[in-house]
A and B are shown apart, each in its own frame.
Chain A
Amino acid sequence: MAAAAETSSDRTLRSAFGSVLSFFILLLIGVLAFSIRLFSVIKYESVIHEFDPYFNYRVTQFLTKNGIYDFWNWFDDRTWYPLGRVIGGTVYPGLTLTAGTLWRILNSLNIPLSVETVCVFTAPIFSAFASWAAYLLTKEVKGAGAGLTAAVLLAMVPSYISRSVAGSYDNEAVAIFALIITFYLYIKTLNTGSLFYATLNAIAYFYMVCSWGGYTFIINLIPMHVLLCIVTGRYSSRLYIAYAPLVVLGTLLASLVPVVGFNAVLTSEHFASFLVFIIIHVVALVYYIKGILSAKMFKVAVTLVVSIGLVVCCAVIAVLIALVASSPTMGWSGRSLSLLDPTYASKYIPIIASVSEHQPPTWPSYFMDINVLAFLVPAGIIACFLPLSDASSFAVLYIVTSVYFSGVMVRLMLVFAPAACIMSGIALSQAFDVFTRSIKFQLPGISGKSDFDGGDTSSSSVVAENDAAKPDKSEETLKERPSRKNKKKEKEQVEKASVEKTSTKSKKEKRLLVLPLEASVIALLLLVFLGSFYVVHCVWAAAEAYSAPSIVLTSHSHDGLHVFDDFREAYAWLRHNTEVDDKVASWWDYGYQTTAMANRTVIVDNNTWNNTHIATVGTAMSSPEKAAWEIFNSLDVKYVLVVFGGLVGYPSDDINKFLWMVRIGGGVFPHIKEPDYLRDGQYRIDSQATPTMLNCLMYKLSYYRFVDVDGKGFDRVRRTEIGKKYIKLTHFEEVFTTHHWMVRIYKLKPPRNRIRGKTKKSKTKTSATSSSRKSVARKKNPWH
């Protein structure tokens, strides 16, 4: 009991020092989280990235210009022509409102930032918040040391960086913060049993619902945890306080968000929470009766209630099943179904399967996105089981479910990343704890060890990690102290009381777990090495892999850096050279950008809510020219935009996406058949390609005049010569092609003014030549 031997004044000093230190560490973590995401701004420029962020940006502009009520009721007639889109009712407003509020506050403080700047930097700011939230959550689970480690890890985890670099103005940027803070408040309520935190929890949940469709993860995970607690006999009235108000308030608040609305009570995603809500009431009643009755009487009551209760339960379940079964797709949305059954989407909904972020991830992507955390997670899970508290069981449940979901969809790696960080934070901190303790045990002369290995590390975050281990230690000693309740706040006392028991137990274990000095030092060094490897990887990922804005592309070649700014060139052309009301058709990927940057009406965009409409565009792209012209003309389309990477080797162009257009189009219009576009099951564009393929609009528009470039028509993406080199367009005319040919814009020709007679062109041509020949002959005649 080394700590107990110290004087009490020393202890207060140390705890105060520890909290000040952890405060500064947190501040540094925030700065780190913010600054590591600025690579994109430094390397490129301060622009909005990708596709979806452009829509969010446009919505934010509208919000800041017209105010919240107009935003709420915004009917956008520039997308999904001619259907239009009710933006207020179909968008998760959390991100937009956040950035709008931020902008308004800054402006009222006379800091004149443009909306775009605010939007660009929203994600980094919120990632700093998210790492603080992770600190709080992990602190509730396993103490402050683990919290700091987890916060550091989260600040740098590549998976999260990929979605929150400066300019990546997407829902996930704020949603991850909302997710973690909701979990934190849930755990906090669970640990304290205070209604105050329950209210905050409901509000945090509301923010999450506003921000991202992933809120269903919360509303399913928390009931699962409650159920787990009940089943394992860990029910407490704190659990009731944490859960019941959350369901009622959360459901009400969720229904306030227009995009969710009545779905909050009507769809199957939410039924689990209601079921558990009923169960927890039953359980609470049982515990209450058990409390006021004698044991014998309770037994009697149980036999009585069980016999009646079974009947009631059966009836209720039957009704519920009937309700669920009566709705199509069993009341589940397509995306949720594809989560539960990973093969569902590829079987039934090509439009979900066509999005690359809805594909299952590969193993390398796990390593890319969470790096060494993948190895630390199991250790963290083990650490959570010794000892198992309500909070740590929640963390375990969180990681297990998120591992599954991330295995189904790449996009949900994002949910998995915070869990992995928390687990790894716990594991690292526990490991440091064990090793430093055994060093300290064997070298009682050395009080701190931060100077011990702080000297031989260069990376700043490793220092942070070492620092993280130190307050962890001081926190540990703080816990070991005899209870001093009056000094701490009441709400933390409950937690402390529970921790107290376990800590004495673990202390004994730790005494037994003392390792040899050399082994500890080597293990420590290895951990530090692991940590620095992680840091190096994260910085590399942030700088190289995830900071490209995808709207501006660069490539390195032997003669230096090339910048491809074709997208903005094309959108600027559209903005300046077409009428305001002109409609531009393109594959839906480019819809958001076209509306945001070119300010032109589009037929389909990235909000893929209407499958038929997308299929219409897909069909047009895969039809021969005349049929395509008719489809586009019926939609009042003036311009067709295709993205073509064959000249510069840009792989995600329309020809590579073309099979999805065929599939999606064929899903609604059966005359488009995928095998028609494949030669022996192979997708090819060279001379072996099928005639259907060579004659479809997408092929023609992509390769029109392409052969003029090098005389051969060599496609650098497909690495082959194109099959049909001399393409003639009759119903479309090329109006603009960008510098690197990445975007090509075609105009629909108006219907011919006159309908020509039947006589073949070739015949008239020969007759024309013959007539000219004749006329020449006749001209010569006078000199004859």
Chain B
Amino acid sequence: MAKSLLYITLTISLLPFLAISFSPESPTDRRVLVLLDDFAVKSSHSLFFDSLKSRGFELEFKLVEDPNIGLQRYGQYLYDALVLFCPSVERFGGSINVASIADFVDSGHDLIIAADTNASDLIREISTESGVDFDENAAAMVIDHTGYAVSNTEGDHTLIASDDLIKSDVILGSKNIEAPVLFQGIGHSVNPANSLALQVLAASPSAYSANPLSKLSSPPSLTGSAISLVSVIQARNNARIVVAGSLSMFSNRFFRSGVQKAGSSTKYEKSGNEEFFTELSKWVFHERGHLKAVNVRHHKVGESDEPAMYRINDDSDYSVEIYEWSGTSWEPFVANDVQLQFYMMSPYVLKTLSTDKKGLYSTSFKVPDVYGVFQFKVEYQRLGYTSLSLSKQIPVRPFRHNEYERFLPAAYPYYGASFSMMVGFFIFTVVHLYSK
């Protein structure tokens, strides 16, 4: 009981540090709104939805034109995440529009966008808001004459088998996805200057984006591995977005079909799509890679209370507990690269925190010989993980007037001289008065 109470207080104290997430205690999304062009998608993509349901998500399917849909009611968001499986939508019903979706993300909610060839301007605009740009040519598809999937009868090489996955255990799980992922749809690009967006599934260097039905008259605007097939974005408030250029990627057909990459002799019984999206959905719905830091503590060595102010050259202990959400519970987060800065305009002390493998990170250091208003800063930004940014302001003061060293041996002659003067004065007074 006491422990849970402590836990609650800790999480409350944590609130300012963590980005405004859903419920800080269990960050995994629960209520998901799925917007569809057409209810047929519900059955044609049932494998994907079933995997979500089996993990405990409450899916609510709505048609985009439904006039009653809305993301929030009375200022409260009704859903934790939004899935847009409606590439051709021109206008949402109800109160949803681009701005409301942007607000939905900005208040910390997650989003999956699936586009397709001939994606509507609305979907493009939402993607642009998120930071990815679809090929401006509406009819363009990604074509790859060397990386296509051979098991297909189609001859225009738009069904691509890509295995250029991002290497991140956090985003795609620790298990390696062996089979290539099938893709058929529009390509998009991510601005390399955009530090928030990542290519998760990139096209091969030989791919390009063009309309397969017309002849290529001018050089394609997107070529090579700059074409992103699936991208993820983690916003600064740790809201996560997945943008895929193909709706059919999620379909049961693609999940079940076997795949053989052109030029490769290995034929996989099953494409990598199911595994890929299961893992990716775990990431995007915060079942993985979500960190929290609690119990930030600092005190002088040998004391336990947190001081309001340090003195220069004090010895200080700093500790923080970091946990990762496993989907069901908070597990200790283990890493060896969490660093603490003692910061005033630039880091004066930079130390790697040592961990006890139970989530507690700690270090001790000597406060520099500079006074000023410092900050304890932990900036932990790793690929796929939510960013941790803890800072705590603490002033460092110089010595008080009575804290300087006294009775220095080197100064004894001066002390002696001063006191001899006083004694001399006394003797002199006596002598002077009685000499008359």
Physical contact A–B (CB less than 8 Å): yes
B98 touches A768 (CB 8 A): yes
Interface of chain A residues 74 through 90 with chain B (CB within 8 A): 75, 77, 81-84, 86, 88-89
A757 touches B128 (CB 8 A): yes
B194 touches A755 (CB 8 A): yes
A754 touches B196 (CB 8 A): yes
A767 touches B372 (CB 8 A): no
Chain B residues near A82 (CB, 8 Å)? 344-345, 372-375
B373 touches A771 (CB 8 A): no
A775 touches B91 (CB 8 A): yes
Query: 0/1 per residue, B182-218, Cβ < 8 Å to A?
Result: 0000000101011111000000000000000000000
B372 touches A84 (CB 8 A): yes
B371 touches A771 (CB 8 A): no
Q: Does B309 contact A (CB under 8 A)?
A: yes
Give A88's nearest chain B residue, CB to CB: B401
A-B contact count (CB 8 A): 104
Interface of chain A residues 570 through 626 with chain B (CB within 8 A): 581, 601
A84→B235 CA distance, assembly (Å): 34
Interface of chain A residues 742 through 784 with chain B (CB within 8 A): 750-759, 764, 767-768, 770-772, 774-775, 778
A752→B129 CA distance, assembly (Å): 11
A754→B127 CA distance, assembly (Å): 11
**Most chain B CB atoms below 10 A, which of A258, A601, A751, A772:** A772
Q: Does A326 contact B (CB under 8 A)?
A: no
Tell me, rounded to whole Å, the shortest Cβ–Cβ distance linking B41 to chain A: 21
Tell me, rounded to whole Å, the shortest Cβ–Cβ distance linking A50 to chain B: 27
Name A771's contact: one of B102, B106, B121, B193 (CB within 8 Å): B121
Tell me, rounded to whole Å, the shortest Cβ–Cβ distance linking A85 to chain B: 9
Q: Does A72 contact B (CB under 8 A)?
A: yes
Query: Which candidate, B140-148, B290-298, B390-398, is the interface stretch facing chain A?
Result: B390-398
Interface of chain B residues 122 through 149 with chain A (CB within 8 A): 122, 124-125, 127-133
Interface of chain A residues 620 through 671 with chain B (CB within 8 A): 634-635
Name B122's contact: one of A72, A750, A751, A771 (CB within 8 Å): A771
A754 touches B130 (CB 8 A): yes
A89→B371 CA distance, assembly (Å): 13
Chain B residues near A581 (CB, 8 Å)? 393
Once A757-B127, A778-B90 are accepted as A-B contacts, the answer to whether A73 and B401 lie under 8 Å apart by CB is yes
Q: Considering only CB atoms and an 8 Å cut-off, how many residues of chain A contact the other chain?
A: 36
Chain B residues near A83 (CB, 8 Å)? 344, 372-373
B121 touches A756 (CB 8 A): no
Chain A residues near B309 (CB, 8 Å)? 75, 77
Tell me, rounded to whole Å, the shortest Cβ–Cβ distance linking B120 to chain A: 7
Once A83-B372, A764-B128, A775-B90 are accepted as A-B contacts, the answer to whether A753 and B122 lie under 8 Å apart by CB is no
Q: Does B105 contact A (CB under 8 A)?
A: yes
Chain A residues near B106 (CB, 8 Å)? 753-754
Tell me, rounded to whole Å, the shortest Cβ–Cβ distance linking A171 to chain B: 22
Chain A residues near B239 (CB, 8 Å)? 753
Query: 0/1 per residue, A94-123, Cβ < 8 Å to B?
Result: 000000000000000000000000000000
Query: 0/1 per residue, B251-276, Cβ < 8 Å to A?
Result: 00000000000000000000000000
A88→B129 CA distance, assembly (Å): 53
Q: Does B233 contact A (CB under 8 A)?
A: yes
Chain B residues near A73 (CB, 8 Å)? 397, 400-401
Chain B residues near A75 (CB, 8 Å)? 309, 371, 395, 397-398
A772→B125 CA distance, assembly (Å): 12
A757 touches B371 (CB 8 A): no
A758→B120 CA distance, assembly (Å): 18
Footprint of B on A, CB under 8 Å? Answer: 69, 72-73, 75, 77, 81-84, 86, 88-89, 258, 581, 601, 634-635, 750-759, 764, 767-768, 770-772, 774-775, 778
Further pairs besides A73-B400, A757-B130: 16, Cβ < 8 Å? A73-B401, A84-B371, A84-B373, A84-B396, A752-B236, A753-B105, A755-B131, A755-B194, A756-B128, A756-B131, A757-B131, A759-B133, A764-B128, A767-B125, A768-B125, A771-B91
A/B interface sample: 28 pairs, CB < 8 A: A69-B401, A75-B395, A75-B398, A77-B309, A77-B373, A81-B373, A82-B344, A82-B345, A84-B373, A84-B396, A84-B397, A86-B371, A86-B398, A635-B345, A753-B235, A754-B102, A756-B129, A757-B129, A757-B132, A757-B133, A758-B133, A764-B128, A767-B124, A767-B125, A771-B91, A771-B125, A775-B90, A778-B91
Nearest 6 interchain pairs by C-beta = A75-B397, A77-B395, A757-B128, A775-B91, A771-B121, A82-B373
